[in-house]
């Protein structure tokens, strides 16, 4: 699981910005939102422009050099903070796998150009390189003793290099190393606000309607739409070898894509990824502005569905505070973000928060600063 994120000089994050998922309270309700002492389901609130999207992009920056998964380069334009005179961005990620802490630190000049990398597993430095000092890297892993340790002018990640060029011995350190690689390979970022964008998790693009139909999930998708108030009857049709979803009316059948509202299209995209993350067992998902086109009741339904996938760590962003409720999550799973910091609700007040409190009302009254 992802435990902590620290970012410096990336996009709007000039000084070090820390997102701590480990600072949990002792609330006894909605305990499924916490896993192994780490927040498993979180909602981040912040005004437009505070950096919610950039936080997600920072987390998924490592996808570009550690995996071969889908990556949208134009999301990483203006990589370095425009107010800084530093020539590189720095990232530090803390994970926990099987109760073992893993720290991965690196710096980059842009999304393609690695400067340094350091990997620490269980307080032991396993991999280290700083290309500003030397093109040679240090490695302390059983099974990698004969690996050529000079990357010369190559920009390859040392972690990726080790993974692709060694057969590591079976021991705890190497097991945790493989757990880290697997976790990052199964991370997903997506948003459907201005444009449909996703990062990580798989390669290439796939037709949403075709996938829902091929998974034999059309009936369940129809039930979901009806449950959230979009009354419809759906059927599939194959036209020129491609599957499409049609909405069935009394006298006509129309392609769903031609008559769907923005909200319905967003629900369709969500259901597509919801099926994917269940099928492929996503490790971590970050959905940016997850409720941009949803009514409050629909937003709650989405969160409840995601909470059920307990093996997947979920981070959602929004600028809408209407879903702040102890019925849905708990105060240590709601985070308020501005350009300088991100802090959970329970850490932004001296008041003792209880399940019966209306925390949205408290928020609007200024109880959380």
**239 CB neighbour count, 10 Å cutoff:** 9
Q: Which of 225, 214, 187, 233 is nearest to 301 (CA)?
A: 225
Place of tokens 């990620």: 93
Beta strands 113-121 and 234-239 are: unpaired
Domains of the chain with CATH codes: 2-202+280-364 (3.40.50.300), 204-262 (no CATH)
pLDDT surpasses 90 at 87: yes
pLDDT value at 293 more than 80: no
The whole-number pLDDT of residue 193 equals: 66
CA distances from 58 to 2, 8, 48, 110 (A): 13, 10, 17, 12
Look at 38-42, 233-237, 358-362 and tell me which has the smallest mean pLDDT.
358-362
> Would you state the pLDDT for residue 194?
58
Question: pTM score, two decimals?
Answer: 0.93
Lowest mean pLDDT segment, chosen from 39-53, 82-96, 125-139: 39-53
Please tell me the distance from the alpha carbon of residue 53 to that of residue 57, in angstroms, as a whole number. 6
Burial label, 342 (beta-carbon count in 10 A; 0-12, 13-18, 19+): buried
Contacts of 170 (CB under 8 A, 6+ apart): none
Strands (E), 192-341: 197-200, 234-239, 242-248, 253-255, 284-288, 313-318, 334-337
What is the token pair recorded at 69? 């998964």
């Amino acid at each position: 699981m992802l435990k902590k994120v620290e970012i410096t000089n990336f996009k709007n994050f000039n000084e070090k910005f820390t997102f701590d998922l480990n600072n949990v309270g002792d609330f006894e309700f909605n305990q499924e939102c916490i896993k192994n002492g780490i927040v498993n389901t979180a909602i981040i609130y912040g005004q437009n422009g505070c950096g919610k999207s950039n936080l997600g992009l920072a987390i998924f920056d490592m996808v570009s050099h550690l995996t071969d998964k889908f990556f949208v380069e134009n999301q990483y334009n203006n990589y370095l903070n425009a107010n800084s005179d530093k020539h590189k961005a720095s990232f530090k990620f803390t994970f926990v796998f099987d109760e073992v802490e893993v720290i991965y630190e690196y710096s980059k000049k842009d999304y393609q150009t690695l400067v340094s990398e350091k990997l620490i597993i269980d307080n032991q430095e396993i991999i280290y390189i700083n290309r500003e000092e030397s093109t040679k890297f240090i490695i302390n892993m059983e099974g990698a003793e004969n690996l050529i340790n000079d990357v010369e002018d190559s920009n390859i990640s040392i972690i990726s290099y080790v993974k692709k060029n060694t057969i590591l011995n079976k021991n705890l350190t190497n097991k945790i190393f493989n757990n880290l690689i697997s976790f990052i390979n199964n991370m997903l970022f997506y948003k459907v606000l201005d444009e449909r964008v996703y990062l990580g998790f798989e390669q290439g693009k796939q037709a949403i309607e075709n996938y829902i139909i091929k998974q034999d999930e059309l009936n369940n998708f129809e039930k979901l739409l009806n449950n959230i108030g979009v009354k419809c009857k759906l059927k599939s049709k194959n036209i020129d070898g491609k599957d499409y979803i049609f909405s069935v009316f009394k006298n006509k059948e129309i392609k769903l894509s031609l008559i769907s509202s923005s909200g319905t299209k967003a629900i369709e995209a969500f259901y597509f990824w919801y099926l994917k993350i269940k099928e492929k067992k996503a490790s971590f998902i970050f959905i940016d502005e997850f409720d941009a086109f949803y009514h409050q009741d629909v937003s709650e339904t989405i969160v409840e569905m995601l909470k059920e996938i307990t093996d997947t760590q979920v981070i959602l962003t929004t600028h809408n505070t209407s879903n702040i409720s102890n019925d849905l999550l708990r105060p240590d799973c709601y985070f308020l973000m501005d350009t300088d910091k991100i802090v959970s609700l329970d850490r932004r007040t001296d008041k003792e928060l209880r399940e019966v409190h209306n925390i949205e009302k408290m928020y609007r009254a200024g109880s959380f600063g």
